[in-house]
Amino acid sequence: MDSTYEDAVDLAETAMQSAQAIIEQVGADRDGPCPCEGWTVATLVDKMVTAPLMTASIMRGDAPDPSLNPLFPTPVAGDDPGTTHAAAAADCGVAFRSADPSAEPPGPLGTPMGMVDQANLRAMDATLNTWDLAEALGVEHGIGTDQAERVLAFASDFLPRVRAKDAGGHTRFAEAAAAPTGDPLVDLVLLSGRRLDWR
Q: Look at residue 175 and tell me if it is in a domain.
A: no
Q: Look at residue 28 and tell me if it is in a domain.
A: yes
Domain of 14, CATH number, reads 1.20.120.450
Produce one character per residue of 83-103: b if its CB has 16 or more CB atoms within 10 Å, e if not.
ebbbebbebbbebbbebebee
Q: Look at residue 14 and tell me if it is in a domain.
A: yes
What pLDDT digit, counting tens, does each position of 73-91 carry?
999 999 999 999 999 999 9
- Contact between 165 and 132 under an 8 Å Cβ cutoff? The reply is no
Q: Look at residue 169 and tell me if it is in a domain.
A: no
Residue 150 burial (CB count, 10 A) = 22
- Contact between 46 and 74 under an 8 Å Cβ cutoff? The reply is yes
- Residue partners of 170: CB distance under 8 A and separation at least 6: 71
Rounded to 5 degrees, φ, ψ at 159 are -60, -45
* Confidence band of 171 (pLDDT split at 50, 70, 90): low
Task: Please state the domain count of the chain.
Answer: 1
Provide mean pLDDT across the span 61-71: 91
Q: Look at residue 136 and tell me if it is in a domain.
A: yes
* Confidence band of 170 (pLDDT split at 50, 70, 90): low
Residue 37 burial (CB count, 10 A) = 12
Q: Look at residue 184 and tell me if it is in a domain.
A: no
Cα dihedral sign, 90-105-151-173: negative
Pairwise pLDDT comparison (199 vs 144), residue with the higher score: 144
Residue 42 burial (CB count, 10 A) = 18
Boundaries of domain holding 102: 3-141
Q: How far apart are CA 168 and CA 73, in angstroms?
A: 16
